[in-house]
Amino acid sequence: MCGIAGICQTDASPLPPQCMHWVRAMTARMAHRGPDGEGFWDGARACFGHRRLSIIDLSGGAQPMSSADGDLTITFNGEIYNFARLKEQLAAQGARFATDSDTEVILEAYRLWGVDCLARFDGMFAFALWDQARQRLFCARDRFGKKPFFYTLWGGRLFFASELSALEQIRELPLTPDPQAIVRYLAYEYVPTPATLYAEARSLEPAHMLLLEDGRLRIRRYWDLPCPDEDDRRDPDSLCEELRFLLTRAVRRRMVSDVPLGVFLSGGIDSSIVAGLMAHQSPTPVRTFSIGFREASYDESRYARIVARAFGTEHHERVLDADECADSLPGIISSMDVPMADASVAPTWLLSGVTRQKVTVALGGDGADELWAGYEHYIGFLLAQWYNRLPGPLRRGIIEPLCRLLPSGAGYINPRLAVSTFLRAAHAPAWQRVQTMLTALAPDVQHAILDSAFPGKNTALLAPENLFAPTREHYEHWQPPQAATPLARAFHVYARQFLLDDILVKVDRCSMLHSLEVRAPFLDRDAAEFAARLPLKHKLRGFRRKWLLKRAFADLLPPEILHRNKRGFQIPVAQWLRGRLRPLMEDLLSPAALKAQGIFQPQAVRALMDRHFSGKEDLRKPLWTLLVFQLWWRARRA
């Protein structure tokens, strides 16, 4: 895993010397992504920088790397898991290799197959490749967006980097906050790709390539997630056998490393499967790592210990409390290059730190919830369809008033909050329903708290069709059109939006801040396509989630793990905002701070805080989202 940066002239003129100074500044900002070395390449029209975290071919894989004839040069972040097989195919076609690295395989694959080489790669990657003969810049990002790639055009040049904060190092670049991106962050808890918080900067979408050639910038999709084949009549036993083969192979491929490996182990289904498959293929005890909480309703460490004992792992555990998390929070958020209000950022960052003390690479269960129906929201989506078939007077006159009488709470499960979120989603159009279940600050709340002088106060920006346009794009424009069932489209939204901009961003940034590489076997190309093509009944059967996944690994997992309810990797936000984190929130959301900033209306924000502090309402999501934004904003202004 690494950090990449570079600049390319859009026309035929050479780059000025200043550009290499800028590339060095961008590369230096990402030292945490590659502490094992740095490298630079200076061509006439392009220059690259690279920070290296050595994983494979520790001595021979330095970058940027050029081909033997000097025609091709690449700066690459990631891993190509099937590089050994590709290397054999390329060698059979006459390619010669000077290293054992996957980087050189990309160069030779491009030489032989051109941009179509992307279809052959199974891995996580973002790279930029300069083709001297064609005078072409070829950039690409992996199928799910596990590795980041940001870019901007300015002054007749394209600037790119692995992190947005690297682009911030070039003071001359115009990077202005985008009001539309800010209001979307407040709703989503992140800024949906391809936008960033800056109007001038973009994020290359996953499964897309960027080509800069003949003065033209072209962006093209090279892959999409397959749609479910509801006509698949294969029996569950044969499907289970194929799934076990695919995931076993995916884990084995991700165990290839010249440095120590481990597993993020939560005690849930997904990470337990990864730990079990890894243990069965490792000649030595696997190292597992988990985080626990002192608050019982959030703690899963007991389950992680059960799995560790079952597979004989060398288990490492750390228990967190409010003080430790609160003390770490400002530094964690400030070091993130993008605002990210997923409350599990803090424990993920701390878990990465614990893991990095022992290993350089960790495997995790990311992607399984999105591909195998792990979230309760999938059931909520179905229930909303059924609920709307009930007579209106029954819904509005009896059920909904009774729901308002449910008790509130600050634990992991808050009945009133869960039901009110469900009802809000049930009332929304089908395309909007998925995001409504996840929304932090709804349009009406944003309208109340945004300062009248802030451009985002504009009613048009907060209209659902604009605010949630990224979700609608994924939901309505997924091809092919026959995959039109609402539930299939909900799956697609989770896999192409929430997984991308929340889960994978969180894991990449938190792990790389500790120079740790994290690999996701469930996002293996073949395993993911297998899951995506399955009829939905094999994932969600009644109220049973991950039905086929659990069936396939029933003999591998301890019974306590197989039959337990899912818990998210969260922190006790509601309690901590009323307790240990309250002074921090009072400071960052004080009238003086908000007035000086000019985005939020102080009295309206204060009202939200008071309603939460009273215990009468659970406003953890909007307040946490605001708190994270303020921490991130303060760091950027500094």
Task: Label residue 274 exposed, middle or buried (CB < 10 Å: 0-12, 13-18, 19+).
Answer: buried
Give 470-533 as a 3 state SS string.
HHHHHHHCCCCCCCCCHHHHHHHHHHHHHHHHHHHHHHHHHHHCCCCEEECHHHCHHHHHHHHH
Q: Residue for token digits 């076609």?
A: 93
C-alpha to C-alpha distance for 269 and 271, rounded to whole angstroms: 6
User: What residues have CB less than 8 Å from 631, skipping those under 6 apart?
Assistant: 329, 330, 333, 334, 588
CA–CA separation, 545 and 564 (whole Å) = 11
- Measure the CA–CA gap between 204 and 501, rounded to whole angstroms: 12
Residue type, 615: G
Is the link from the previous residue into 194 a cis peptide, with omega within 30 of 0?
A: yes
Contact 109, 164 (CB under 8 A): no
Q: Name the phi and psi angles at 139, rounded to 5.
A: -120, 150
Alpha-carbon distance of 566 to 160, in angstroms, equals 39
Contacts of 479 (CB under 8 A, 6+ apart): 224
- For residue 325, indicate whether it is catalytic: no
| Rounded Cα distance, 196 and 208, in Å | 17
Nearest to 368 by CA among 214, 476, 458, 264: 264
* Cα–Cα distance, 599 to 588 (Å, whole number): 13
Of 111, 109, 94, 77, whose CA–CA distance to 5 is shortest?
Answer: 77
CB-CB contact of 191 with 181 (8 Å): yes
Question: Token pair for residue 398?
Answer: 């009896």
Catalytically annotated residue among 2, 117, 227, 510: 2
| Backbone angle region of 428, left / alpha / beta, with phi > 0 → left and psi within -120 to 50 → alpha | beta
Q: What share of the chain is helix, strand, coil (3-state, %, to 5)?
A: 50, 15, 35
Give the separation between CA 277 and CA 247, rounded to whole angstroms.
Answer: 8
Residue 393 has which token pair?
A: 């007077």
Rounded distance between C-alpha atoms, residue 612 and residue 608, angstroms: 6
What's the sign of the alpha-carbon dihedral 296, 298, 301, 304? positive
**Nearest CA-CA partner of 206 in 499, 472, 522, 487:** 499
CA–CA separation, 174 vs 256, rounded Å? 42
How deeply is 166 buried, as exposed, middle or buried, from its count of CB atoms within 10 A (0-12, 13-18, 19+)? buried
- Give me the residues paired with residue 395 across strands: none
First to last CA, the chain: 29
Of the candidates 546, 559, 411, 429, the residue with the CA atom closest to the CA atom of residue 489 = 429
CA 379 distance to own-chain centroid: 23
- Phi and psi at 39, nearest 5°, equal -150, 160
Show which residues are catalytic: 2
